[in-house]
Structure 1
Amino acid sequence: MQVLDDALSVQSDPQGLMTLALTITQKYAVARDIYAFELVAAQQKTLPAFTPGAHIRVRTPNGELRKYSLCNSPDDAGRYVITVKRDAHGRGGSVSLVDDTVPGQTLLAQPPDNAFALVEDPRRLIFIAGGIGITPMLSMIRSLGDDSTIPWSLYYLTHDEQGTAYRELLSAPSYAGHVTLHHSGSRHDHFDLWPVLEKPNQGHVYCCGPRKLMVDVRDMSGHWSSSRIHFESFLEGGEKKPDDRPFTVTLSHSGRTLAIPVGQSILEVLRNAGVNVPYSCESGTCGTCRTHLLQGDADHRDMVLMPEEKGDQIMVCVSRAKSDNLVLDW
């Protein structure tokens, strides 16, 4: 057992990952099929600090390890708040967390990590959220405070009012002039983000939501500096496609060849093989796992690489192969 932040015990879960023991103190609905969980340290005094945009990975009752943004202010010491959308068509983690937990129950979670860190640009901060993608934005907005001198705007796009998490909070007078709520409804009335992004490099843009929204924002912000556009995705391992097929990767330094099956990422296979690959988001949005591609034709599924980089770079957390084999600089 190791000790973190003086009094917080860090344990190992059944898969050997370093974890925190967290107790659910509150669990309540914040919109249709969306629930907030307040978590505190189980039998301990302190929790590791976190920064705006950070997340934790929680071991759900059915054994899945799932990534959730911390929604509360980093100054709100002593608790973590996560918000979970119950997705009946997902991989089962969110359903288990919503259906199989009660206040007082203890969950295991990894300490906070941040692949979506806030840059407090004095010019402007632009937050674009779709659906449950509002969660990391809440921590960022709360960290700015009511008297922030940094201009900021939030564009929160959802299907309808009932499915809009924290709608009452974001409609409060203190957020007037900052927050735009838009509901597409059954008529698919999409919000035009071009006027928001038309003038380049006017601060920093943070986008989290469905992949289509993030692709649209990426395409509309191509004239911005890439360092000013930030994405967060919870689709760990990347987008799954019906025509996914197995392939192999060869590690140039050792000559080892590893099989990448359908349903597993290159990163997962490399880590299981003992290769020390740096990573963070596991969703192709942070760039930490950028790897030199020496040979082969990659199927790029990230939100980071520029077109001119795709010939010799790959994000191994999400991307796959079009060719039978990829040769990586490991």
Structure 2
Amino acid sequence: MNTDTIFSRLIVTRSEPAAQGIQLFEFRHPEGAALPPATPGAHIKVKTPSGHTRQYSLCNAPDETDRYVIAVKREAQGRGGSMSMVDQLKVGDTVEVGGVENLFELDERARSFILVAGGIGITPVLAMARTLLAEGERKFKLYYLTRDPESTAFLDEIKNSDLKSHVVIHHDRGDPSNSYDLWPALEKPGTLTGQHVYCCGPRGLMDAVRDMTGHWPSSTVHFESFGGDTKIHADDQAFTVRLAKSGMDLEIPVGRSILEVAREHGIHAASSCESGTCGTCKTALLEGEADHRDMVLLDEEKSSHIMICVSRAKAGRLVIDL
């Protein structure tokens, strides 16, 4: 998140389970005022009770300006943001919310869509499906892939709505051999038909879709991730970062990011997603070996750059260009 982001206080008007381990939240303006409009695939930044800022996709219909609806998966091995949302945030509480942004826009040139959602990746994709259904002009098919019915958010809502005929829901039961075969849908690139692919979900799914669409024009395949590797590893250790421009040394504890600690010390660094997916916080790495946990850097960049929102030191000290 850029430190210049303007936050508004909204009130939690709804909090309920959306599925096992997933909590749905509804936010409204405390005085009933209209909220800034969104487009399908948009997200908001939320200051969680833990103090971390996290990015959540809006899953309600984008034309609704009276509320924002998000779904939060409780990540027990994460850095605490999602856990504090699910465990602490109650109806009637206020929460600081940043402006609407969209890095996952529906392409206006597309004439039809293949939408692929894995797990909690359904949130932006559901908003897209709702919009396309309401428009009624462009064809789409949504493939919603989850572990089991209990952990499938919005399952009943999808099954009992007009979306049903547009959606394929598959549960793999945690068995990789039972994964859904997307190849028949992706085998033929949509060059002539104006078809685009949108995929949101865990790294494994995104990598698989990326491999299966390698023969598609790159401009017709779009990805949105819910983050790089933000979990705390069992072997994580505190490390030191030297900021080359200021000469300041920062101690980065387990469970905190370079970005967070730098911000606390008054160091401004551009950022956005804070989950290793957007590339905004890319910083030159001058010395040391990084433990890269992002989803952005190319292999040839990893010796000279680091995403300071998620990545850490493999050993010893890092020196970065801040």
TM-score under structure 2 normalisation?
Answer: 0.80
Q: Is the 8 A contact 2:54 2:274 kept in 1?
A: no
- The one-letter code of the counterpart of 2:292 is H
Structure 2 Cα separation of the partners of residues 92 and 323 of structure 1: 24
In structure 2, runs of 5+ residues without a counterpart are: none
Q: Which residue of 195, 215, 232 maps to 1:240?
A: 232
Please list the CA deviations of residues 169-223 of structure 1 after superposition, one character each: whole Å capped at 9, or x if unmatched. Answer: 3335733553211011265521123444455686554333334334444555566
Structure 1 Cα separation of the partners of residues 246 and 89 of structure 2: 46
Correspondences of 1:108-187 after superposition (within 5 Å): 108-114=95-101, 116-120=103-107, 121-171=109-159, 174-175=162-163, 178-185=166-173, 187=175
Structure 2 Cα separation of the partners of residues 172 and 253 of structure 1: 58
Correspondences of 1:1-330 after superposition (within 5 Å): 19-58=7-46, 66-85=54-73, 97-98=85-86, 103=91, 105-114=92-101, 116-120=103-107, 121-171=109-159, 174-175=162-163, 178-185=166-173, 187=175, 189-198=178-187, 204-218=196-210, 220-221=212-213, 228-233=221-226, 238-330=230-322
- The one-letter code of the counterpart of 1:257 is D
Q: Is the 8 A contact 2:42 2:104 kept in 1?
A: yes
Structure 2 Cα separation of the partners of residues 161 and 151 of structure 1: 26
Structure 2 Cα separation of the partners of residues 253 and 62 of structure 1: 30
Across the two proteins, how many residue pairs are aligned to each other? 314
Structure 1 Cα separation of the partners of residues 265 and 132 of structure 2: 42
Please list the CA deviations of residues 80-116 of structure 1 after superposition, one character each: whole Å capped at 9, or x if unmatched. Answer: 122244566766665665565664x132122234364
Q: Secondary structure at the match of 1:262?
A: coil
In structure 1, runs of 5+ residues without a counterpart are: 1-15
Structure 1 Cα separation of the partners of residues 52 and 225 of structure 2: 20
RMSD (Å) for aligned C-alpha atoms: 3.4
Against the structure 1 CA distance between its residues 186 and 210, is the aligned structure 2 distance closer, same or farther, given a 3 Å change threshold? closer
- The one-letter code of the counterpart of 2:205 is L
Against the structure 1 CA distance between its residues 201 and 250, is the aligned structure 2 distance closer, same or farther, given a 3 Å change threshold? farther
Q: Secondary structure at the match of 1:133?
A: helix
Structure 2 Cα separation of the partners of residues 300 and 234 of structure 1: 13
Q: Percent identity?
A: 48
- The one-letter code of the counterpart of 1:256 is M
Q: Secondary structure at the match of 1:143?
A: helix
Q: Is the 8 A contact 1:58 1:107 kept in 2?
A: no
Q: Secondary structure at the match of 2:199?
A: strand
Question: Residue 313 of structure 1: CA displacement?
Answer: 2.5
Structure 1 Cα separation of the partners of residues 51 and 244 of structure 2: 35
Question: Residue 122 of structure 1: CA displacement?
Answer: 0.8
- The one-letter code of the counterpart of 2:180 is F
Please list the CA deviations of residues 66-89 of structure 1 after superposition, one character each: whole Å capped at 9, or x if unmatched. Answer: 543221122111111222445667
Q: Secondary structure at the match of 1:263?
A: coil
Question: Residue 304 of structure 1: CA displacement?
Answer: 1.6
Against the structure 1 CA distance between its residues 171 and 38, is the aligned structure 2 distance closer, same or farther, given a 3 Å change threshold? same
Question: Residue 316 of structure 1: CA displacement?
Answer: 1.3
Against the structure 1 CA distance between its residues 55 and 314, is the aligned structure 2 distance closer, same or farther, given a 3 Å change threshold? same
Q: Is the 8 A contact 2:283 2:307 kept in 1?
A: yes
Q: Is the 8 A contact 2:40 2:106 kept in 1?
A: no
Structure 1 Cα separation of the partners of residues 276 and 198 of structure 2: 15
Against the structure 1 CA distance between its residues 61 and 276, is the aligned structure 2 distance closer, same or farther, given a 3 Å change threshold? closer
- The one-letter code of the counterpart of 2:157 is L
Structure 2 Cα separation of the partners of residues 310 and 319 of structure 1: 11
Q: Is the 8 A contact 2:146 2:171 kept in 1?
A: yes
**Which protein has greater RCO, CA pairs closer than 8 Å, 6+ apart?**
2
Structure 1 Cα separation of the partners of residues 288 and 217 of structure 2: 29
Question: Residue 277 of structure 1: CA displacement?
Answer: 1.2
Against the structure 1 CA distance between its residues 186 and 229, is the aligned structure 2 distance closer, same or farther, given a 3 Å change threshold? closer
- The one-letter code of the counterpart of 2:94 is L
